[in-house]
Amino acid sequence: MHTRSTAQRWRRKRNRISSAVSKECRLADRLEDILITLGKQYHIIRPIASKPGLFIYLVLDKVKSNLALARRSCQEQEQTLTL
């Protein structure tokens, strides 16, 4: 189970990564998602554009999942999310 402090740490890390990547690559664009690949899993972290600091965190089994469809579904869920 993730605690609030874990979520806060992830939020800070995501903000640092996003800022560093944008600065290093001189990007004038927004971060859509972060993909972490492990031996057996994909982790997708997708910031919620309408609520800075919040994100969707998805964990997928590499063998059973379709990464492209999962990213698309995550995008659709973000667009329909009401907070």
Six-digit token pair at 78?
Answer: 């973000």
Tell me the DSSP string of the chain.
---HHHHHHHHHHHHHHHHHHHHHHT--S----EEEE-SSEEEEEEE-TTSTT-EEEEEEETTT--HHHHHHHHHHHHHH---
- pLDDT computed for residue 4 by the predictor: 65
pTM of the model: 0.66
The pLDDT tens digits of the residues spanning 13-69 come to 777 776 677 676 776 667 788 898 999 999 998 888 888 778 888 899 999 999 999
Q: Which helix (H) or strand (E) holds 16?
A: helix 4-25
Please state the domain extents for the chain: 4-80
DSSP state, residue 59 = E
- The confidence score (pLDDT) of residue 42 equals 92
